[in-house]
Structure 1
Amino acid sequence: MIEIKNLNFSYSKKKPIIKNLNLELHGGNIYGLLGKNGAGKSTLLKNIAGLLFPKQGSVKVFGYHAHQRLPQVLRETYVIPEEFSLPSFTINQYVDIYSVFYPRFSKEQFYGSLEEFKLDPKEKLTALSYGQKKKVIIGFGLASNCNLLLMDEPTNGLDIPSKSQFRKIVASSATEERCFIISTHQVKDVENLIDPIIIMDRGEIIFHQTFEMVSKKLAFEVHKELVEDDQVVYSQSVLGGYSVVTENVTGMEGSIDLEILFNSITSSKDKIHQIFKQ
């Protein structure tokens, strides 16, 4: 579905944002694109959407170069940006005007999302809070039934109950044909939703694995005292002791703490890479 080869991108010659990036993404997955602010996540999504053009390399979506912005690609791609503006329409008017661009748009699905989010379709978009507007475009994007949905920090502005509702409706909208990419630095918000995990740091992909593989290779434990062991990859202080990541030498698969995994990779990536090479 998405094929990225040797992608390089910069806004100026002095500071490259994406460096020689290679990546293939396929339908049937909800990818988590994780990274700190400034890691290059939003820039990567914009290159996939054809909103930015590669300086070197290529980005192909459905077999076409993304920067060509062809109709057959655009009608199958929906972008939920972190920052956006909406017209002074009611939600009903917005759907009537914009849904026609997406051949498989489901009004039933959209209004189901509105009900889940407790939004009145007669409300004017300009009268809604930022979080409420975010819910509208999330619901619209899922109801578009596009095969590619790009979400940039979709949980920003959502309260705790809304984040739970977000995870529920995204999971229920996933199919074998659709590819979702959720870019976020708020790791906890997408736990138990995403798989595979992609982590970016300083414009490079430093980790790309499934939860199954992570569970086979790494073990996550909490100890009352700091553990001194050659198998320890990473540890950090938590309530009640220390959260520890070790190489999984038992072969027993266990649960994964996504936030601890993210911290361990960004601080000890060489150790992690060595384990996954074995």
Structure 2
Amino acid sequence: MITIQNLHFHYKKGRPLFEGLNLELEAGHVYGLLGKNGAGKSSLLKQIAGLLFPRLGTCKVMGYESRLRQPSFLSNLFLVPEEFYLPQVSIDRYVKTYAPFYPNFDEKAFQQYLDEFQVPRNQKLTEMSYGQKKKVIISFGLATNTKCLIMDEPTNGLDIPSKSQFRKVIAAAVNEEKCIVISTHQVRDLDNLIDNIVVIDNHKIIFKQDVETVTERLSFRSVKQLEDAENVVFSESSVLGHAVITENAGGTPGRLDMELLFNAVLEPSGRINQLF
């Protein structure tokens, strides 16, 4: 679905952002793209969408070079950006204007998503709160039924009930032909939603594993004393004791703490990666 090979990129007069980055993403999965501020998550999504061009290397989506932005490519990819502009029109006018660009757009599904998110219909888009606008964009993106759906910080601006609803509608949208990539700092918002974790740091992809493999090899739990846990791979102190990652001796998949895993992957020792 998405194949990135030897990607090099930097902004004008800027330091290298990607150096020889390689990544393969397949249909039928929800990928969580994680990284520190400035690691290049948004820039990578824009490379996939064809909004930024490689200095060297290739980025192909569904067999198309994204930089060429061919109509048949654009009609099967939708990007929910972190920052966006909406025109001063009604929801109905917005749909009539933009839906024709997406042959598989499902207006009935769009209306259902709006109902689930409890989005008002009697306001112009520019009169809505940021959170309501975000719900409209997410609903529209899902209704396009594109094979590739990319979301940059989609839960920013959503309240707690809406975040739960977001997880529900995304999970329902997954199928064997669709690839969904979600970039976020709010990693807890993706718990029980994504099935593959991708971490970008230091110009490269430093970690890429499916959730099932992670939970088969690692165990995530809390202990009062570090001495209470064996084979500790990583730990963080808290007011309640310690959050720890240990080797999963039994091999039975358990609960994933994505935030704890992310911090462990970024640890200079690289111990987590040695277990995969």
TM-score (norm: length of structure 2): 0.96
Q: Does 1:130 align with 2:130?
A: yes
- Closer, same or farther in 2 for the Cα pair 1:203/1:119, shift >3 Å? same
- Matched residues in 2 for 1:162 and 1:5: separation? 37
* 1:6-155 equivalent positions in 2, closer than 5 A: 6-155=6-155
C-alpha deviation, 1:251, in angstroms: 2.4
C-alpha deviation, 1:250, in angstroms: 2.9
> Secondary structure of 1:119's partner?
coil
> Secondary structure of 2:270's partner?
helix
Q: Does 1:246 align with 2:227?
A: no
Q: Which runs of 5+ in 1 are unaligned?
A: none
- Matched residues in 2 for 1:269 and 1:105: separation? 47
Q: Which moved more, 1:266-275 or 1:91-100?
A: 266-275
> Secondary structure of 2:97's partner?
helix
C-alpha deviation, 1:230, in angstroms: 7.6
- Closer, same or farther in 2 for the Cα pair 1:238/1:50, shift >3 Å? same
Residue 46 of structure 1 aligns with an amino acid whose one-letter code is: K
Residue 197 of structure 1 aligns with an amino acid whose one-letter code is: I
* 1:122-271 equivalent positions in 2, closer than 5 A: 122-227=122-227, 231-268=231-268, 270-271=270-271
Q: What are the superposed Cα offsets for residues 33-70 of structure 1, whole Å, 9 maximum, x if unpaired?
A: 11121111000000000000001110011111110000
C-alpha RMSD over aligned residues: 1.5
C-alpha deviation, 1:252, in angstroms: 2.9
C-alpha deviation, 1:224, in angstroms: 0.7
C-alpha deviation, 1:172, in angstroms: 1.1
Q: Which moved more, 1:246-255 or 1:64-73?
A: 246-255
- Matched residues in 2 for 1:229 and 1:161: separation? 35
Contact 2:191 2:256 in 1 (8 A): no
- Closer, same or farther in 2 for the Cα pair 1:6/1:188, shift >3 Å? same
Q: What are the superposed Cα offsets for residues 108-138 of structure 1, whole Å, 9 maximum, x if unpaired?
A: 1000011111112232001001111000000
C-alpha deviation, 1:14, in angstroms: 4.6
- Matched residues in 2 for 1:164 and 1:239: separation? 27
Residue 180 of structure 2 aligns with an amino acid whose one-letter code is: F
The number of aligned residues is 276
> Secondary structure of 1:253's partner?
coil
Contact 1:80 1:151 in 2 (8 A): yes
- Closer, same or farther in 2 for the Cα pair 1:269/1:97, shift >3 Å? farther
C-alpha deviation, 1:197, in angstroms: 0.6
> Secondary structure of 2:113's partner?
helix
TM-score (norm: length of structure 1): 0.95
Q: Which moved more, 1:225-234 or 1:180-189?
A: 225-234
Q: Which runs of 5+ in 2 are unaligned?
A: none
Contact 1:50 1:66 in 2 (8 A): yes
User: What is the percent sequence identity of the aligned residues?
Assistant: 53
Residue 191 of structure 1 aligns with an amino acid whose one-letter code is: D
- Matched residues in 1 for 2:33 and 2:4: separation? 15
